C-alpha cells in the first residue's frame, strides 16, 4: 500500500487533467536528487458531469416557470451564473454556455457547459388547482400546434425515437 499526502499550494496548470504527471525540481542546486512527482486526480463535481472538455448540468423547473419564464442559477467552475429562460421553455430544451467547460488539453480554448431543462409536472392537484387547469384546458394557447415556433423542437425529438 502507498501513502498519499495531499499537498496544497502546488501550481497545477489549467490544462492539467486526470492522470497528468507533473515534476517539480528544487530551486536549490544542492538538492537536485530531491524531486517531487505529482499525478493529478480529479474530484467529481456534485452537480456537473464531464465529457471531455464539455460539462453537463440538468435543471428541473416547475411547469409555471416553464410557461411564464424565469431566471435560474447554474453552477459553473468557480461560481454560479444566472441564465434567463424564456416563457414557453419546453422540457428537454438544452442551452449552451460557450467557454464554460474545461480547458482543452491538446488544443486552445475551453469546452462548453450544456444545461438541460426538465419541466416538473405535479402528480397531484388540489380541487381548486384542478378546476383552474380545467378552465384553461380548452384555450387555444394550451392546445399543441406544430405550426408554431416550437415545431423544430418536436421534430428534433422525433429523430431520437
pLDDT of residue 109: 82
CB under 8 Å to 133, separation ≥6 — which residues? 125
pTM: 0.71
Closest CA to 118 of 91, 89, 94: 91
- pLDDT interval class at 4 (50, 70, 90): very low
pLDDT of residue 97: 97
- pLDDT interval class at 23 (50, 70, 90): low
pLDDT of residue 161: 42
What is the average per-residue pLDDT within 134-151?
A: 79
Q: For 75-113, what is each residue's pLDDT tens digit?
A: 998 899 999 999 999 999 999 999 999 887 667 788 999
pLDDT of residue 14: 56
Amino acid at each position: 500500500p502507498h501513502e498519499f499526502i495531499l499537498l496544497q499550494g502546488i501550481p497545477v496548470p489549467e490544462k492539467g487533467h486526470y492522470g497528468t504527471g507533473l515534476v517539480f525540481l528544487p530551486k536549490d542546486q544542492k538538492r537536485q536528487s530531491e524531486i517531487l512527482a505529482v499525478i493529478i486526480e480529479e474530484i467529481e463535481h456534485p452537480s456537473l458531469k464531464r465529457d471531455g472538455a464539455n460539462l453537463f448540468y440538468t435543471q428541473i423547473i416547475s411547469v409555471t416557470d416553464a410557461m411564464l419564464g424565469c431566471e435560474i442559477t447554474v453552477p459553473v467552475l468557480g461560481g454560479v451564473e444566472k441564465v434567463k429562460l424564456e416563457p414557453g421553455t419546453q422540457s428537454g430544451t438544452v442551452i449552451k454556455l460557450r467557454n464554460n467547460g474545461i480547458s482543452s488539453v491538446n488544443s486552445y480554448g475551453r469546452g462548453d457547459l450544456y444545461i438541460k431543462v426538465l419541466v416538473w409536472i405535479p402528480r397531484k392537484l388540489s380541487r381548486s388547482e384542478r378546476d383552474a387547469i380545467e378552465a384553461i384546458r380548452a384555450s387555444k394557447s394550451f392546445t399543441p400546434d406544430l405550426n408554431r415556433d416550437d415545431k423544430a423542437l418536436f421534430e428534433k425529438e422525433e429523430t431520437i425515437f
